[in-house]
Chain A
């Protein structure tokens, strides 16, 4: 299968692989999975006191497109407020990585992971989800 250069770049040099302390009250963890391909994605964000995302890490088991999608969103998330982060759409990810139609679900997975991580964080801090 022909991956775009951007997918290959993220796949070969994934950004921000790893984990944050999930017990840290400022860390939100999002876990999602895609049944059709068995891909599993864990995305974590840490926000500062100013409400801005200061770090993001991921661990993804899946195809190159899933890894590239999660690697890309960790880059995008840093420096954003939670509201701005929620505006990242799967179509933005798919467009940036030039994903073919059969790989769109990988970008959906990454968008859902962001939402899940933010929802986890909001639950922890007691804010309205």
Chain B
């Protein structure tokens, strides 16, 4: 069984060639498309459907920075402990609380501009963490720290979702 990187003929690194990923995706999609197997035996059809699912799953995983990092760490036998590790640095958690309070305040004041500013800040912060993730995995090979960064990015995703929800609620 090939791993996702092997399936896409990419080196198992965080920093990947996104153009190559997209091109290979389209090529693989064409190869396993169910339409090509319309007249095939049911066993062949089943196999092509399974391959199509695998190709999609692999593509979605490799496309997303957090999912790609988690998958890479998993290949190295590292669990990112997103379900079990609650011991985040205090200053990081304090920042989370402050952001949540800012969302509540802006929502109460119907301040869409403040929410959009927050969204921009969060995007920068996520980009910053993703850059660190690349260095940490590909150059420093520090998997424990990389798992820590994945957990931080999960928090940021959640705050971004909530900010977007607050904006949507105010716009409707």
Contact = CB atoms under 8 A, between A and B. Distances in A.
Interface string B75-90: 0000011111111101
A36 B87 contact: no
A36 B82 contact: yes
B127 interface: no
Contacts, number: 59
B154 interface: yes
A126 interface: no
A50 B154 CA distance: 42
A34 interface: yes
Given A35-B82, A35-B154, A35-B155, A40 B87 contact: no
B100 interface: yes
A33 B96 contact: yes
Contacts of A40: 93, 96-97, 100, 155
Contacts of B151: 35
Given A42-B97, A61-B100, A33 B157 contact: no
Contacts of B169: none
A109 interface: yes
The interface size bin for chain A is: 10 to 19
B40 interface: no
B83 A33 contact: no
Contacts of A42: 93, 97
Chain B interface extent, by class: 20 to 34
B54 interface: no
Interface in A19-73: 31-38, 40, 42, 59, 61
Interface in B56-99: 80-88, 90, 92-94, 96-97
B43 to A, nearest CB: 37
A37 B155 CA distance: 8
B18 interface: no
Contacts of A59: 97
A31 B84 CA distance: 15
B90 A31 contact: yes
A32 B86 CA distance: 5
Interface of B: 80-88, 90, 92-94, 96-97, 100, 150-152, 154-155, 157-159, 162
Interface of A: 31-38, 40, 42, 59, 61, 105, 108-109, 112-113, 116
Q: Which 7 A-B pairs have the closest CB atoms?
A: A38-B158, A35-B151, A35-B154, A32-B86, A35-B82, A61-B100, A31-B93
